[in-house]
């Protein structure tokens, strides 16, 4: 199957919400407990989030299949914070995460962003490392009283 990386369109919002939820539900249990997955899901309210984030200056890169349906995406904020990187479980291990991260790096370079940073799950960390990000610390925190963790990571843009 062929994929393409393209800019977000407003009509993608519902599909991106589905990709996000599918990724958390389908892949999250490989590294996190059911309770942790549930609270992680609670932080992703739905399609309106994407419209709001784009209206506030975020850029979303979409990996689409041959039918132009979104199957993965990355959300980059104007300050270089890569806030989302999600991949539908049916489309993992196809290089989409690395292609999205490379696209975000090129975008950053062309827009004068000198540093990308993120908070990566245990599951996303290997993709970020392969794309040149370095883990700076393990972040332990709680969501609604449930302990969970992720990794602060960053990458310099030359």
| CATH number (domain holding residue 101) | 3.40.630.30
pTM of this structure: 0.95
Report pLDDT for 45. Answer: 76
Report pLDDT for 43. Answer: 87
Nearest by Cα to 119 from 83, 80, 155? 83
Tell me the average pLDDT across 3-7: 97
Judged against a pLDDT cut of 80, whether residue 3 lies above it is answered with yes
The edge-to-edge listing of strands for the beta sheet with 4-7 is: 4-7, 59-64, 70-76, 82-87
**Would you state the torsion angle of the CA atoms of residues 67, 85, 32, 144, taken in this order, to the nearest 10 degrees?**
-110
Report pLDDT for 141. Answer: 94
- Reported as a single tens digit per residue, the pLDDT across 143-157 is 999 999 999 999 999
- Reported as a single tens digit per residue, the pLDDT across 35-84 is 999 999 998 879 999 999 999 999 999 999 999 999 999 999 999 999 99
How far apart (Å, rounded) are the C-alpha atoms in residues 144 and 127? 28
Report pLDDT for 48. Answer: 94
Query: Phi/psi of residue 68, each to 5°?
Result: 65, 25
Domain of residue 101: give its range. 4-156
Judged against a pLDDT cut of 90, whether residue 1 lies above it is answered with no
Nearest by Cα to 70 from 81, 86, 83? 86
Q: How many CB atoms lie within 10 A of CB 75?
A: 23
Contact 8, 50 (CB under 8 A): yes
Report pLDDT for 44. Answer: 83
Report pLDDT for 110. Answer: 97
Mean pLDDT of the chain: 96
Number of structural domains (the chain) is 1
Report pLDDT for 15. Answer: 97
Tell me the average pLDDT across 124-135: 97
């Amino acid at each position: 199957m062929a994929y393409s990386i393209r800019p977000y369109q407003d009509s993608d919002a519902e599909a991106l919400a589905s990709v996000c939820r599918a990724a958390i539900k389908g892949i999250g249990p490989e590294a996190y407990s059911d309770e942790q997955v549930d609270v992680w899901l609670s932080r992703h309210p739905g399609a309106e989030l994407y419209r709001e984030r784009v209206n506030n200056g975020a850029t979303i890169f979409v990996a689409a299949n041959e039918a132009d349906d979104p199957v993965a995406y990355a959300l980059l904020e104007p300050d270089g914070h890569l806030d989302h990187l999600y991949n539908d479980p049916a489309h993992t291990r196809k290089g989409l995460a690395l292609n999205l991260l490379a696209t975000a790096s090129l975008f950053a370079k062309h827009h004068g962003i000198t540093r990308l940073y993120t908070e990566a799950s245990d599951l996303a960390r290997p993709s970020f490392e392969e794309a040149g990000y370095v883990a700076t610390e393990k972040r332990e925190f709680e969501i609604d009283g449930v302990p969970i963790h992720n990794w602060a990571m960053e990458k310099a843009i030359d």
